[in-house]
A = this chain, B = another copy of it.
Amino acid sequence: MKKINVAVAGLGRIGKIHLKNLCRNFPEIKVVATMDVFDESKAIADEFNVPVFVKTFDELLTVDGVDAVVICSPTDTHADYVVKAARAGKQIFCEKPLDLSLDRVNEVLEIVKKSGVKLMLGFNRRFDPEFKRIRQLVVSGAIGEVRIVKITSRDPGPPPVSYIKVSGGMFLDMTIHDFDMARYISGKQVKEVFAKGTVMVDPEIGKAGDIDTAVITLTFEDDTMAIIDNCREAVYGYDQRLEAFGSKGMAQAENEFPNNHKLYTKDGVSGDLPLYFFLERYNASYNAEIREFINALISGGDMPVDGNDGLHSIVIGLAAKKSLAEGRPVLIKEILK
């Protein structure tokens, strides 16, 4: 069988994970080229014996025989690269979000659609074993009709304020994953968003115009609800839990731990903290999502997370921002108009 030739753009933290998985775990594909703006990243390409390393996305697209691109570069390059890749007829995997501007996202998706290539967005949590299991229980009917979805998502610590300033704000940078999970778990579309937030972690975040602690209520089109709570800092580590409550039962996804030991001493019963952050907790999910991308390339089937999914998460994020700013629930159609 002819191998699929893949090019990887961006060799930062996530780029390296995808490159490693692509090179080691997928005999069906061959990584033929990599791209990064930093010269030093060539060493990474060399470590995995990737024959070509270039410094611009344009050059990457000219490499001979590239079938698909995996875009892991900074967020502000996503839209441009996706457009270029689509016009060059390459299949596309792109890290989320496509762009922070809704107009730009719509424009990009239109171009992708016309080009006929497929686009998968990197909502990796859909492939996490804990969350996937809950989705399976919903799909199987084990919990009946979903009434309430609850998502807890807290980071071990905040990113630098410099990052926060360009992040698009907590809802588009952090909660966007939870918006996608609410849609994924329930299989429903969001109708209305109400967001409350405050600054509890670092006043500098507030000065940068953002919040660090939030509670968001989503109302789905059938009037059932999801609640999300976020914080940029949980001193005990990455807190990623989820619950789906329905007419026939309730399914909970718990945090994951490096081990399950319990220690009994005179001071109490204790165990280790959850896996520290997304690289540890979602390690398996990164491999699984690329697995699904490649499967879809081979089968010609639909992408499991497409541009529309990316669009919805951004729209919900923009509605949450508006809700917070105006102190009222905001309808999704206000954003989409």
Instruction: Show 23 A/B contacts (Cβ-Cβ < 8 Å), sorted by A.
Output: A24-B24, A129-B258, A133-B259, A133-B272, A137-B261, A137-B263, A148-B215, A213-B224, A215-B217, A217-B217, A227-B227, A227-B229, A233-B247, A236-B249, A236-B268, A249-B266, A252-B263, A252-B264, A266-B273, A268-B271, A268-B273, A270-B270, A327-B329
B223:A251 contact, CB within 8 angstroms: no
Interface size class of A (residues with CB under 8 A): 35 or more
Q: Which of B154, B194, B250 contacts A245 (CB 8 A)?
A: B154
What is the CB-to-nearest-CB distance from A231 to chain B, in angstroms, rounded to a whole number? 6
One digit per residue, 1 when the CB lies within 8 angstroms of any chain B CB and 0 when it does not, for chain A 31-65 equals: 00000000000000001000000000000000000
Q: At the interface, yes or no: A88 with Cβ under 8 Å from chain B? A: no
Stretch at the interface among A77-85, A108-116, A139-147: A139-147
- The CA-CA distance from A255 to B260 in the complex, in Å, is 8
One digit per residue, 1 when the CB lies within 8 angstroms of any chain B CB and 0 when it does not, for chain A 234-272 equals: 111101000001011111111111111111111111111
Q: A261 with B271: in contact, given A215-B148, A227-B229 (CB under 8 Å)?
A: no
A250:B229 contact, CB within 8 angstroms: no
A250:B234 contact, CB within 8 angstroms: yes
A residues with a Cβ closer than 8 A to B are 24-25, 27, 47, 129-130, 133-134, 137, 142-145, 147-148, 150, 152, 154, 194, 196, 198, 200-201, 213-215, 217, 219, 223-225, 227, 229, 231, 233-237, 239, 245, 247-274, 327-329
Instruction: Classify the interface of chain A: helix, strand, loop or mixed.
Output: mixed
Return chain B residues, CB-CB under 8 Å to A154: 245
Q: Which of B47, B150, B257, B273 contacts A229 (CB 8 A)?
A: B150
Return chain B residues, CB-CB under 8 Å to A254: 260-262
A268:B261 contact, CB within 8 angstroms: no
Q: A247 with B200: in contact, given A194-B329, A236-B269 (CB under 8 Å)?
A: yes
- The CA-CA distance from A261 to B253 in the complex, in Å, is 5
A194:B213 contact, CB within 8 angstroms: no
